[in-house]
A and B are shown apart, each in its own frame.
Chain A
Amino acid sequence: MINLTINNKKLQVEEGTTIFEAAKLNNILIPHFCYMENVHQIGSCRICVVEVEGGKTLMASCVTPATEGMIVHTNSERVRDVRKVIFELMLSDHPKECLSCWRNQNCELQDLGNLIQLHEFRYEGAKSKDVIDSSSPSIVRDSSKCILCRRCVTVCNEIQGVGLMNPHHRGFSTFIGPSEDELLGESVCTNCGQCVLVCPVGALKEKDSTAAVWEALYDKSRTVVVQTAPAVRAALGEVFAYEPGTLVTGKMAAALHQLGFDYVFDTNFAADLTIMEEGSEFLERVTNAFNTKEKNHVLPMITSCSPGWIKFMEHRYPDQLAHLSSCKSPHMMLGALTKTYFAEKMNIDPAKLFVVSVMPCTAKKFEITRPEMFSNGLADVDAVITTRELGRMIKDAGIDFRSLEDGEFDSPLGLSSGAADIFGTTGGVMEAALRTVYELVTGRELPGIKLHIKPLSGLNRIKTAELKIENPLPAYSFLNGVTVKVAVTSGLKGAAELLEQIKNGTSPYHFIEIMGCPGGCISGGGQPRPVNDAIRTLRLEAIYREDEGKLLRKSHENEDIQMLYRDFLGAPLGHKSHELLHTVYAQRSKN
C-alpha cells in the first residue's frame, strides 16, 4: 500500500494507482477532460494537472502513479490558474457557436467550463481546421470542433482495431481523422459510431435523419411504420434523466404513437424470426458437416446482425465471407416484411409505406443504403434514427416522457419472446439461438439456470462455451455425443482475433456471435452518452430482466412467428425467406 496526502487528507491506496484514481476513490474531484477510465489515459489535454510538492512542473494526475509520501494539491493557486488557461486555449481553437451546436447542454467542454468558471477569453487567434466531412451515411465529422483529445483515436485503434481515426501532421496543424483527402464515406470506416459515443464535443456526430422522419410523419399520404431495436428500451430513459438500466419499453411505445407513427412494431419480432432462420441455417451447416460430411461445409458460422461488424469483415477478411450467416439483420427483415406481408395483409401500397428503424446503432444508417437491402425496387427500411435522435424528437414534440402511460406495440409484427430481448446484449444472440436449436435437436429445454448460458454473458472480450449433445431426436442422431463449441465477442478487435484463428485454420468453434460494439447493442454508437462499463452492466442487466419477465422465452414458441410461416413464408430457409430475409456480402478493399 502507498501512503500519500491529497489536499491535506492522508490516504492509502494500492500500488499502481494513479493520483487521479486515488483522489476519486476518496471523493476528491480533479477536473479532467480527455480521460476515460481504463480506456484512454494518455495525459494529452493536461486539464487534470495537479501540484506535487517538490516537482519542477505540475503532473497530469491521470497518468502519474501515486508514490510513497507524495504530497499533492489539486486546488492550489497555481493549479487553478493554469487549468483556466488550458481551458481558454482549448476554446481559442474551438468555434463558440454553442447555441446552434447539437451537443449544446450535452457537451463535456461546456461541463468543464461550468466547473472551472471562466469569465473572459484572453487568447484569441488562429483556428486550425475547418473541414466538415458528411460523406458517410452514418457519421459526420466536423473538424472545427475537434479539440484533439484523441479518445476517438484510442477507440478506433485499440478497441475496434479499425485504425482509421488517427492524428495527422504536426504542431498546430495536427488534425484527427482519416488521412487528408480521404472521406469517411469512402473509407474503411465500419460506421460503428464508437468514436461518436466518446467524442466529448460536437466534432463527431451521427448523420441526422430526423428531418426525413418528420417529413414522412407530416405527409398524410404515407403510412409511417416504426420499429425499435431491443437495446433502445434499455437506454432511452437516460435521455430523460432516468437511471441507467431503467427499462422504458411502455413509455417508448406510447411516445412513438404520440409522435404520429401509424404502426409501432418491434424489431424484437424479427429477432425471433432471425433465430428461426439463422438457427435453421446453423443446423443445415452442422448437418453438412456431421451427417452428409460434405467437404465444402463452412463452419464456424458467424452471426450477421451487426452491420458494423459486417463491413469490417468485408474489408478485412473478404475471403472468409462464407462463414457469415446469410441472414439480414433483424430490422431489415422486419422492413422487408412490412412492405410485403404487412402491406398485403392491410392492403396498403408498399410504395406508400415509410419504415423507420429506431436503433442503438449508427452503422444501420449505412446498412439501409446497401444495394442488397432493396426488394422490388423499394428500400426495406427508409430511415434509421438512433436512440439519441429519438430522444431529441420526443423532446422536440413537447412530449413529457416521464409522465407517459405505458403503451403497447402493434400487431402483427409486435409480439416477441425473451430470446429476442437479449439480442441487445453481447452473448444474447447466441443464447437465443441455442435455446431454440438445442430444443429442436434434443426435444428438451436448454439446460442452465433460467435458460441462461452464464459463460456467454458479461463484458469480457471473448467468451466461450461448450454444449454436449446427448440423446438427440432421431433426426439428429448423427449429433449424438458431439460437443458444440461456441464463442462470443463484442468489439471488433476481438472479432479480428477470432477471424485470424479461422484464417489460420485453428478455430475450434462451430458457431460464433460477433457484435461490432463492445458490450453489444446496449452500448452501440447510437446510444445515449456517457457509456462506460458500469453503465453497460446496468443496461445489460435491464435486458436480462426484460427477458426473464416474459412468459414467452423461446423464439420458436412465438405464435405470431408461427402464423407468419403458416400464412406467408412457408418454412425457414424457404424460397420466400431467401428472397426477403437473406442477403449476400460484398468484397471490399483493405484500405
Chain B
Amino acid sequence: MYPVTELIKNLADRHGRERRNLLPILQGVVEQEKYLSEYSMIEIARELDLPASEVYGTATFYSFLEYKKMGKYIIRICKTITCSMKGKNQIIKTIEDMLKINVGETTPDGNFSLLQTNCLGFCHKAPAMLINYEVYTDLTPEKVREILTNYINKKGREE
C-alpha cells in the first residue's frame, strides 16, 4: 500500500466518511504531502464514495489545497494592499535571488516553493509571509535572508 493510501484511510477513520469530512481529509493530506496528487484525490474519492471530479472541484476551490507538486517548505508572500505598499516586491525579489526560482516555482532540490497569497491578516506588520504554517512579519530583505538561511541550515542539519 502506498503511504498516502494509508494516510487517507487513517484520516477517513479519524474524521469520518461523510461529505462534510472532506475538507479535514484534504487538509490532512496536504499537511503531510504538501499537495494533492491526482492519485490522492482519487483515493479520497474512493474512501468517501464520492465522484473524483467532485473532490477535484472542491479541492481546487481552496488556495491552500495545492494540487501541483510543492516543495517541503511552501513560502507564501502576502500580496494584498498593505503588504504590497510596504515592499512585498522587494521581499519576493530577495527570495527569488536567494533560491534562484520565480514565483510559482519550486527549487530543483524540492525544498522550497514560492507563492503569493491574499491577505494574511498581518497588515499592521506588513509585509508578511507564511512558511508552511509559520508566520513572519515586518519583513525586510535582510530579515528574509536570515529566516531563509535558517531554514536552509535546518534542512541541512536534518539531512
Residues of A within 8 A of B (CB): 157, 162-170, 178-182, 187-188, 590-591
Contacts and interface: CB of A to CB of B under 8 A. Distances in A.
B46 A180 contact: no
Interface in B43-94: 45-46, 50-54, 56-57, 60-61, 63, 67
Contacts of B60: 168-170, 179-180
B61 A179 contact: no
Contacts of B51: 157, 162-164, 166, 188, 591
Contact of A170 (B45, B52, B56, B61): B61
A571 B41 CA distance: 51
Contacts of B67: 180
A191 B143 CA distance: 57
B56 A168 contact: yes
Given A180-B60, A188-B51, 11 more contacts: A163-B50, A164-B53, A166-B56, A166-B57, A168-B56, A168-B60, A178-B53, A179-B41, A181-B38, A187-B53, A590-B46
B23 interface: no
Contacts of A179: 38, 41, 52-53, 56-57, 60
A181 B50 CA distance: 18
Contacts of A163: 50-51, 53-54
A375 B50 CA distance: 38
Contacts of B38: 179, 181
B42 interface: yes
Interface residues on B, range: 10 to 19
Contacts of A590: 46
Contact of B42 (A164, A167, A591): A591
Contacts of B42: 591
Contacts of A181: 38
A166 B53 contact: yes
- 6 tightest Cβ-Cβ pairs between the two chains A and B: A163-B51, A179-B56, A591-B52, A166-B57, A168-B57, A169-B60
B61 A180 contact: no
Contacts of A170: 60-61, 63
Contacts of B50: 163
Nearest to A189: B53
B109 to A, nearest CB: 26
Contacts of B53: 163-166, 168, 178-179, 182, 187
Nearest to A176: B57
Contacts of B56: 166, 168, 179-180
Nearest to A178: B53
Contacts of A167: 57
Nearest to A590: B46
A188 B60 CA distance: 20
Nearest to B42: A591
A169 B67 CA distance: 11
A591 B53 CA distance: 8
Contacts of A157: 51, 54
29 contacts: A157-B51, A157-B54, A163-B50, A163-B51, A163-B53, A163-B54, A165-B53, A166-B56, A166-B57, A167-B57, A168-B56, A168-B57, A168-B60, A169-B61, A170-B61, A178-B53, A179-B38, A179-B52, A179-B53, A179-B57, A179-B60, A180-B56, A180-B67, A187-B53, A188-B52, A591-B42, A591-B45, A591-B46, A591-B52
A170 B60 CA distance: 7
A182 B46 CA distance: 17
A187 B38 CA distance: 13
B49 to A, nearest CB: 9
A377 B67 CA distance: 44
Nearest to A167: B57
B127 to A, nearest CB: 24
A165 B57 CA distance: 9
Q: Which of B41, B46, B51, B56 has the most CB of A within 10 A?
A: B51
A578 B50 CA distance: 37
Nearest to A187: B53
A544 B45 CA distance: 43
Contacts of A164: 51, 53
Nearest to B56: A179
